Amino acid sequence: MRILLYNPDNGVTRNFMPHLWMFLLKALTPPGHEVLLIDGNAQPMDEAQIAEYVRHEKIDLVGIGAMTRMIAKAYRIADAIRATGVPVVMGGPHVTELADEALGRDGGPRHADAVALGEADQTWPQMVNDAARGQLKEIYAPVDTAGKESKPSLKDYPVIPWDKIDLNQFNLLPKAVFPLLKRVGEGWGTFRIIPVESGRGCPYGCEFCTVTGFFGDSIRFRTNESVVNELLLLKARARKEKGQMAVFFIDDNFAINVKRTKSLLRDIIAAKAQVHWVAQISANLLRDEELIDLIAASGGKWVFIGMESIDPTNLKDVNKGFNKPGEYATVLERLAKRNVYAITSFIFGMDNDTVGVAERTLAQVRTWPPGLPIFGLLTPLPATPLYTRLETSGRLTRPKHWKEFIPFAMAHIPLRMSIDEAHAEVKYGWAQAYSPEALAHAVDSLDDQPLGYRVNIFLARICFRGIYFPMMGKLAWPKVILENRQTIFKLIKEAIFGRDARPKRPRAEAVYEEVTAPEVPGEASA
Ligand code: B12
Ligand code: SF4
């Protein structure tokens, strides 16, 4: 069969990295089939275009995966493909929670011929074989021979052939910035961020999050060796392309078992498999100085921290009381000391939020080392404890908000402010944190650092700005460049003429060499 795996775009922002599920399922496809991939974020297509593609390419089976946010588009695309007579199977978090919706068993239209519930590592090959025989079942659930739910062990994780995959669509660098980047260092022909998972599962059960329900609270890890080999493959490809390859460890909580994370990072260092990487780690797990040393030494550059709120009452309300706002600053300083910076994520519209929450949050953010703050709204995703609580208390204003996706719009009534006020807070947060003044301030605050660090924070901020201020219009980029011309001019001037000040802190590359991987026996898991 010719199989197409398709991931819809969300119609608002362009994703900065490919989706792992497509590459993983491709690697798990039984031999004898050809698998094509289309990520709508890189190759946007409408319903008519995809139907034409499916006909033209003589596709026999289409697999679509989507988060809740993209599900309306996913259904429209699925309908268009099914209208050509080609079967569609769907998977991912949304249809796992609402399989009846995808299969038209809830009274609505049917969008999928079959649905994979939960993790599909084991069920995908079955689906492909059944589809090839024309005997697709409606639901594929990961169960063992006794019919009990079974989670895939990641011990036999497949090799994703990153060295051979066509990644042209995922180069993040606009050609215009090449001259500046050449001054920063050699090897800036391409820049890609590649998703790598080293483990699955998070037991914390935050009220708004689907992860604990979806992956279960059973935590599973790949072997260190398989992760290290994947990094070596990526590194070799970057070298061959004379480009840059960064990795996003997409584990929900990369340090959920601190002992294991340290052992993985030590193995990465020992194998010289360091690439620049970013990972999600909750603030409570970043108290361990040795872990931070190893993060820096193994190539860690950015840590995504779900801070959510600076108000302990809010955190308790959403079952995230393990976040302690009092220690946020210390954690960020600890990271910054090793040239590791943070993407700090905040949610507004929580039950204890009142007008002014954005400014109160920003007042703290401004005292921290420069990072990438991001702001969102509390969103009741299906099958989360938050959804049930808001539904039970009659607070959902758009109970099926995913049917008509509106970016940055609430679907329930907050307790201590109005919906419009919550929207205004998010807008204010982004506008202030990414104003030309804030960008200039972030660059200046790294004045004692080499040029690369300041270019890095500037580019990262500009790109993150695109999450909220859509950067898709023709004039969007020229406008941003114009607004930030002083900072850009300053960086270019320094790239061309250099500057007098010598860096006071060591370069991260030097830190790689200095940090050895210390052995600490017997530390507890997180
Ligand atoms: C990486 C990631 C991102 C990346 C982007 C995605 C990317 N390019 O990889 C970034 C950081 C940008 C991101 C952003 C957001 N994310 Co996100 N993200 C993740 C994360 C951490 C990992 C995704 C992943 O690759 N997982 C590993 C793969 C192997 O698992 P998987 O995708 O689930 O695929 C398996 C199965 O689902 C199934 N499957 C999946 N698709 C298909 C398709 C077919 C045909 C079949 C058969 C099977 C199948 O098979 C796979 C193998 O078992 C997940 C959490 C998680 N651990 O999954 C959240 C997650 C997907 N994100 C989530 C959310 C809410 C968001 C945001 C909306 C957050 C926000 N408030 O802004 C944004 C929206 C982004 C957008 N583009 O619009 C939610 C989605 C919940 C939901 N019901 O939709 C998740 C589950 C986390 C959570 N807190 O609940 N995210
Ligand atoms: S710590 Fe993160 S991944 Fe784990 S349940 Fe909470 S929000 Fe979800």
Say yes or no: CB of residue 20 within 6 Å of ligand 1: yes
Residue-level pLDDT at 110: 98
d(CA 187, CA 178): 10
Sequence-ordered strand ranges (E) for 48-150: 61-65, 88-91, 114-116, 139-140
Residue-level pLDDT at 55: 97
Residue 516 backbone zone (phi > 0: left; psi -120 to 50: alpha; other: beta): beta
- State in Å: Cα 174 to ligand 1 middle: 26
Residue 158 structure tokens: 């497949």
d(CA 235, CA 242): 10
Residues with CB under 6 A from ligand 2: 202, 204-206, 209, 211-212, 252-253, 282, 306
Of 46-50, 107-111, 169-173, 309-313, the poorest mean pLDDT is in 169-173
pLDDT digits (tens, 9 = 90+) for 355-409: 999 999 999 999 999 999 999 999 999 999 999 999 999 999 999 999 988 888 9
Which residues are paired to 305 by β-bridges? 344
pLDDT digits (tens, 9 = 90+) for 72-85: 999 999 999 999 99
Residue-level pLDDT at 183: 60
For ligand 2, atom 2, which residue shows the shortest CA distance?
252
- State in Å: Cα 499 to ligand 1 middle: 43
Nearest of 308, 307, 422 to residue 354 by alpha carbon? 422
Residue-level pLDDT at 278: 97
pLDDT digits (tens, 9 = 90+) for 410-456: 999 999 999 999 999 999 999 999 999 999 999 998 888 888 888 88
Strand order from edge to edge, sheet including 244-249: 191-196, 244-249, 276-280, 300-308, 341-348, 372-377
pLDDT digits (tens, 9 = 90+) for 164-205: 888 776 665 555 666 566 566 656 667 788 999 999 999 899
- State in Å: Cα 145 to ligand 2 middle: 31
pLDDT digits (tens, 9 = 90+) for 321-354: 999 999 999 999 999 999 999 999 999 999 999 9
Ligand nearest to the CA of 22: 1
For ligand 1, atom 57, which residue shows the shortest CA distance?
252
d(CA 340, CA 335): 5
Say yes or no: CB of residue 92 within 6 Å of ligand 1: yes
Work out the pLDDT band at 472, boundaries 50, 70, 90.
Answer: low
For ligand 1, atom 78, which residue shows the shortest CA distance?
10
Residues in the chain: 526
Q: Kindly tell me if the per-residue pLDDT of 28 is higher than 90.
A: yes
Nearest of 300, 213, 312, 198 to residue 256 by alpha carbon? 198
Cα pseudo-dihedral 234, 240, 242, 243, rounded to 10: -20
Task: Indicate the top mutation candidate among 4, 7, 21 to test ligand 1's pocket, ranked by most ligand atoms within 8 A of CB.
Answer: 21
Q: Kindly tell me if the per-residue pLDDT of 54 is higher than 60.
A: yes
Its pTM stands at 0.91
Are the CB atoms for 198 and 255 separated by under 8 Å?
Answer: no
Say yes or no: CB of residue 94 within 6 Å of ligand 1: yes
Residue-level pLDDT at 66: 95
| DSSP conformational letter for 143 | B
Are the CB atoms for 160 and 24 separated by under 8 Å?
Answer: yes
pLDDT digits (tens, 9 = 90+) for 245-302: 899 999 999 999 999 999 999 999 999 999 999 999 999 999 999 999 999 999 999 9
Sequence-ordered strand ranges (E) for 340-435: 341-348, 372-377
pLDDT top residue among 387 and 466:
387
Structure-token match 């009534």, residue found: 413
User: What's the helix, strand, coil split of the chain in %, to 5?
Assistant: 45, 15, 40
pLDDT digits (tens, 9 = 90+) for 224-251: 999 999 999 999 998 888 888 899 999 9
Residue-level pLDDT at 180: 62
Ligand nearest to the CA of 118: 1
